[in-house]
Amino acid sequence: MAEEVKNEKKKELPIAQVTTCKSTQQMLRKAAEDGVETAFHRAADMKACPIGADSACCKHCSMGPCRLSSKDAYGKVGVCGATIDTIASRNFARMVASGAAAHTDHGMSMLDVFREVVAGKIKDYQIKDEQKLLEVAESVGIETAGREIKEIAVDLYEELERTYTQVEGEIPFVTRVPPKTLEKWRELGIVPRGAMREIMEIMHRTHMGVDQDYENTTKQCSRTALSDGWGGSMVATEISDILFGTPSPVLAGVDMGCLDEKQVNIIVHGHEPNMFESMIASVNDPKLLKEAEKAGAEGLNLLGMCCSGAEVLSRHGVPHAGNFMSTETVLVTGAVDAMAVDVQCIKQGLAPLAECYGTKLFTTNPRAHIEGVDHIEFVEHHPRKCTDKVVKEAIKRFKGRKAKIVIPQNKSLGIHGFSHEYINYMLGGTFRASYVPLNDNIINGRIRGVAGVVGCTNPRVRQDYVHVELVKELIKNDVLVVQTGCSQISLAKAGLMKPDSSVLAGDGLQEVCETVGMPPVLGLGSCVDNSRILIACAEMVKTGGLGESIADLPVAGAAPEWMSEKAISIGQYFVASGVFTVFGVTFPTIAETKFHKLLFDGLERQGLGKLGFAKDPYEMAALMIDHIDKKREALGIMGERERVLMDMADRRDLEVIPDSF
């Protein structure tokens, strides 16, 4: 055990209170025995700064940093005179900019690969889903009839490049936005031009002494966030589908029990699917398999973690070892021979743990090195150079394993891979694929509404608990749940991705799930795949009967255990698209301020969605269900069933929902 990673002064961690994940609990007990620390320990040791948590401080110039008091929000201003609303909205804007930049840069990398594949300069990847290529091209107005695939692909590249580089006009995917929603955006001046322009403008506006009107800053937050959701993220999803295949339901295992002591275990952790796809090819290479056998292994066992893991879980059924708060504890198993990371949500704390357990940790993306960690650059023009090398290093580590291996025996099999195309097909059948059955079941009340439950896990709240309890409460109340990212993994571990989990749903939703043969919780993939939820919302509006804009739909969203700036960008693009979106953990505003009231109320009055906040999963579910019922009422589809305002105790006691609304 490396001496430097020992933490003698660490307080004992109340393990059952920090995570409900059995595997993570077991590994935290082992971590205590081994004397190593994780983000759970660091969170317990580090009190979050209350002024920062309220977003009441500014360090945008050297006259400060200025700290405003959260108790007396309007009693104080910064040295330049900036009010709490200016400071908090500027801080929020920079979170949106950073989150949107992460997603759009990811999307741009995908587009780079697509361009090089189409030009024949990258040979290791091909256009795998031509049907999807045609659909995406048609959706942005490209002529496809009688044309060669390559010609269409060139046009599509050029069209989608505008998502990033365009300086005037509207991004290409506005063609998918319901007309009434788009009309509202135009009226408010929030239609994105190009992501680079919007992110640049937000950074300019939030410089000292520029935009000092929180309402004006918030408009640019919406515009930038929309360039992520309907721009960069949507490009990332669509191009990944074109290159690697559109997901359809696949049975796959999730949790640390997917590790296998007898095999060489390789984990890919990050966000971009390019390296992961090449790793799939590497672990299936007969030469490398032979090398593994020679080293005494029964095979090469590839697993994912976090979002790229959720993406290949959905697309190919590659097993998934756990979500964000398990990326360190999985190393404590001692069973991980190599972990290759790319971008986003990679904790620096992985480095000392990998050293301690002898796991080979590699960074692979030029944007994301970690001090002291070996870097094997991944270059899409010859991807196997990187991924073969990682596999060989993993085999070496397998051969020389020294760490004691303990693998938690928890593994949950479930169905993943519900793209919006598949939802269409699943509900409508091959010859009449459509959203009509979904809308009909919402109108007749079997399905009360749809909720997107997404986002990270966070050591400031009990891992997985809020995700799982919230989703159980929603399905019990006949709300169909769609999921992405680390949240999807929380529910998969809890067994909610199995079709028989429909027994936990209310009678109406259960009936629909049993008829169609689907679980009440549908996993759609990674964080950028939240764009699939936007498209599903647009399809619901287009199909008819549920209003004219996304803001009319009986839908809601939640990021119950969020931690990253990307979650803020996602939240803001859902709100700007018309969706009520609830955050848990904490929210970076002070409740009495004008800026807070704008986000949590004013935006809805403008015809968009709004934000909500609740830490408790039952309270969060109540907020979402009440909102769904409010929309049902406005649509005139509450039926015989009156809107029931229940308190928490009622909700907990509620076991059966009548099947006719």
Interface residue list for ligand MSK (CB under 6 A): 306-307, 323-324, 344-345, 455-456, 485-486, 526-527, 564, 566
Give whichever of 77 and 295 is closer to ligand SF4, judged by the CB atom.
Answer: 77
Look at residue 82 and give the partner it binds from ligand MSK, ligand SF4, none, a contact being a CB closer than 5 to 8 Å depending on partner kind. ligand SF4
Task: Give the span between the Cα atoms of 614 and 466, in whole angstroms.
Answer: 10
Q: Are strands 555-559 and 449-453 parallel, antiparallel or unpaired?
A: parallel
Binding flag, residue 623, ligand SF4 (CB under 6 A): no
Give whichever of 56 and 456 is closer to ligand MSK, judged by the CB atom.
Answer: 456
Binding flag, residue 203, ligand SF4 (CB under 6 A): no
Binding flag, residue 79, ligand SF4 (CB under 6 A): yes
User: Which helix (H) or strand (E) element contains residue 250?
Assistant: strand 250-254
Look at residue 60 and give the partner it binds from ligand MSK, ligand SF4, none, a contact being a CB closer than 5 to 8 Å depending on partner kind. ligand SF4
Compute the least distance from the CB of residue 206 to ligand MSK, in Å: 22
Under 8 Å between Cβ of 558 and 624: yes
Give whichever of 449 and 455 is closer to ligand MSK, judged by the CB atom.
Answer: 455
Count helices and strands (H / E) in the chain: 28, 16
Per CB under 6 A, the list member of 18, 40, 60, 334 interacting with ligand SF4 is 60
Compute the least distance from the CB of residue 203 to ligand SF4, in Å: 14
AA identity, residue 407: I
> What is the three-state SS of 477-504?
CCEEEEECHHHHHHHHHCCCCCHHHHHH
Compute the least distance from the CB of residue 527 to ligand MSK, in Å: 4
Compute the least distance from the CB of residue 62 to ligand SF4, in Å: 7
User: Per-residue contact track with ligand SF4, 627 to 656, x per CB under 6 A?
Assistant: ------------------------------
Give whichever of 84 and 259 is closer to ligand SF4, judged by the CB atom.
Answer: 84
Of 76-84, 172-180, 289-297, 322-330, which segment contacts ligand SF4 by CB under 6 A? 76-84
Give the residue among 243, 242, 308 at the shortest CA–CA distance from 273: 308
Task: Give the span between the Cα atoms of 657 and 302, in whole angstroms.
Answer: 42
Give whichever of 468 and 622 is closer to ligand MSK, judged by the CB atom.
Answer: 468
Give the residue among 595, 578, 594 at the shortest CA–CA distance from 631: 578
Q: What is the DSSP string of 180-227?
A: HHHHHHHHHT---S-HHHHHHHHHHHTSTTS---HHHHHHHHHHHHHH
Give whichever of 178 and 523 is closer to ligand MSK, judged by the CB atom.
Answer: 523
Residue 262: both structure tokens together: 């007898």
Task: Give the span between the Cα atoms of 245 and 239, in whole angstroms.
Answer: 9
Look at residue 324 and give the partner it binds from ligand SF4, ligand MSK, none, a contact being a CB closer than 5 to 8 Å depending on partner kind. ligand MSK
Look at residue 59 and give the partner it binds from ligand MSK, ligand SF4, none, a contact being a CB closer than 5 to 8 Å depending on partner kind. ligand SF4
Give whichever of 210 and 644 is closer to ligand SF4, judged by the CB atom.
Answer: 210
Under 8 Å between Cβ of 230 and 387: no
Binding flag, residue 204, ligand SF4 (CB under 6 A): no
Task: Give the span between the Cα atoms of 76 and 83, in whole angstroms.
Answer: 7
Q: Is it true that the peptide bond before 65 is cis, omega within 30 degrees of 0?
A: yes
Look at residue 307 and give the partner it binds from ligand SF4, ligand MSK, none, a contact being a CB closer than 5 to 8 Å depending on partner kind. ligand MSK
Task: Give the span between the Cα atoms of 139 and 434, in whole angstroms.
Answer: 16
Give whichever of 99 and 547 is closer to ligand MSK, judged by the CB atom.
Answer: 99
Per CB under 6 A, the list member of 13, 21, 39, 66 interacting with ligand SF4 is 66
Q: Is residue 618 helix, strand or coil? A: helix
Give whichever of 340 and 541 is closer to ligand MSK, judged by the CB atom.
Answer: 340
Burial class of residue 626, CB neighbours in 10 A (0-12, 13-18, 19+): middle
Give whichever of 188 and 208 is closer to ligand SF4, judged by the CB atom.
Answer: 208
Binding flag, residue 63, ligand SF4 (CB under 6 A): yes
Compute the least distance from the CB of residue 215 to ligand MSK, in Å: 28
Per CB under 6 A, the list member of 5, 58, 456, 567 interacting with ligand SF4 is 58
Per CB under 6 A, the list member of 33, 51, 59, 544 interacting with ligand SF4 is 59
Task: Give the span between the Cα atoms of 40 and 516, in whole angstroms.
Answer: 41
* Strand-pair partners of 414: 252
> What is the three-state SS of 375-399?
ECCCCCCCHHHHHHHHHHHHHHHHH
Give whichever of 212 and 483 is closer to ligand SF4, judged by the CB atom.
Answer: 212
Binding flag, residue 51, ligand SF4 (CB under 6 A): no
User: Which helix (H) or strand (E) element contains residue 352?
Assistant: helix 350-357
Compute the least distance from the CB of residue 483 to ligand MSK, in Å: 10
Contacts with ligand SF4 by CB under 6 A lie at 58-61, 63-66, 78-80, 82, 87, 208
